Structure 1
Amino acid sequence: MKPPPVHRITLAQLAVLGFLSTVTLALADIATTVSLVAGAACSALPQAWFALQLFGRGERRGAEVALAGYAAQAGKFFLSAAGFALVFALLRPLVPMAVFGGFAAMVLVQAAGGIWLLRRGQASR
């Protein structure tokens, strides 16, 4: 099974994060912008790790990918939870709505990227 181009989702997340950070910095303050970036990191970094674990080893059989998916998803969940714990324990000053806004923005990019990959895969058949 040939790996899909999941790296494009991470690149899209970086582009959206750059745009949102610039806009937030222009409209708010540095604490809000740092909180936004921290929340986005709680989503984007575990997603990138998940993609690397699942597809970063080259071509594999479908069954191998499925089994690796369970472990990768558990790791992604743990990394997200640990990221939030670190952000809320260590980041001061903190703007909680910006943290969750950054996280939500990255989840939306992930969902859009997943839909794009599914449609791309169906179009190539």
Structure 2
Amino acid sequence: ILSPDARTLASPNIVIILCGNKKDLDADREVTFLEASRFAQENELMFLETSALTGENVEEAFLICARTILSKIESGELDPERMGSGIQYGDASLRQLRQPRGSAAQARQQCNC
């Protein structure tokens, strides 16, 4: 069961993802996918199995969290301007859109600077 502190001390709109690691060691599994999935559902968590060794679903875990947070911002459920929301905007000078690999060179070629 989740520590009550995680939910009571955080924003009510907290985004939590349960990552079942070591997906690459399926033969040594102690918790079935169904058990973990059911636990996540009962505790209102997102669930994803990952492997730090192979990298499987590691980046996806962060992307899912980020997309869920962005969706909550867009729907008005989360307001980064509200104190205590648990999120905040970063320094505007550090923000930039993530470009696919190789496109930075293409962008420089199109620039007239």
Bigger RCO (CA 8 Å, 6+ sep):
1
Q: TM-score range by the shorter chain?
A: 0.3 to 0.5
Larger Rg: 2
Q: TM-score, normalised by structure 1?
A: 0.37
Structure richer in strand, relative to its length: 2
Higher percent of residues as helix: 1
TM-score with structure 2 setting the length: 0.41
